[in-house]
Amino acid sequence: MDKEIEYFVEQLEEAAKSNLISAILYGSFADQVEKKNKSDINIMIILKEISDAHIFNMRDVIRKNIKKLRLNPIIITKEEHLNSLDVFPVEYLEMKENFKVVYGDDLITGIDVTNENLQHQIEFELRSKLILMRKMWFNIENDAKVMKLFLVRNSASFCFLAKYADRILKEKHTLNLNIFEKINKVKKDEVKADKILLNKLYWELHYTVTELTKKIDEIK
């Protein structure tokens, strides 16, 4: 384990004492703790109880390391953790794919995410982002720089949701997702992106996400 992470966990254990159940790294940093990595460090800190006193006890340790280690902490009780599976199924699936327990119990391996809960979250996220996408178009259609930034950011978000949509669509998924690769080429400046092209990509992304949302909604 990275020495700085190891030292942080030791400090956290000392500050939280017996209230600390588990500390779990997740995301891109979790499988690279031996390497120098510039990405944020996502860590779930699971406690028995949470009160102002419990948070205050950990305040200095966490505050110092938010900047030093680019720490992105989720502080949660075990009960809240187990009761959140139906609310954040996408996030928990992502966590299961890449995590490392650095203190205490493994409370990730055994979690079960249902396709029903996954469908609800994906549909909610897709519809919410589509509504925002349409609203934003009026402000960005004539600004190539802003449109490019918008497409790159939203394409990554939609691509992430499409990945988990595959889990519930399976063989029903017949959408062409080439739009994500096209926008990625724009991101890398492999193609010249003027306003005409960017608007074309915008509407192609809009069509793809709209169709994906319909397919998710059709699942019974």
Tell me what pLDDT residue 175 has: 67
Domain edges within the chain: 3-104, 115-218
- 173 band by pLDDT with thresholds 50, 70 and 90: low
Sorting pLDDT into bands at 50, 70 and 90, what band is 34? very low
Rounded to whole angstroms, how far apart are CA atoms 119 and 123?
6
Predicted pLDDT of residue 177 = 81
Q: Name 116's Cβ contacts closer than 8 Å, sequence gap at least 6.
A: none
What pLDDT band is residue 30 in, cutting at 50, 70 and 90? low
- Would you tell me the crossing angle of helices 89-97 and 144-169 to the nearest 10 degrees? 80
Residue 115's pLDDT is what? 93
> Structure pTM?
0.82
CATH superfamily for 3-104 is: Beta Polymerase, domain 2 (3.30.460.10)
Give the mean pLDDT of 96-124.
95
CB-based burial, 195-214: b 16+ in 10 Å, e otherwise: eebbbebbebbbebbeebbe
Q: What's the whole-number average pLDDT of the chain?
A: 91
Q: Residue 61 carries which DSSP code?
A: H
Q: What pLDDT score was predicted for residue 174?
A: 60
Confidence of residue 59 (pLDDT cuts 50, 70, 90): very high
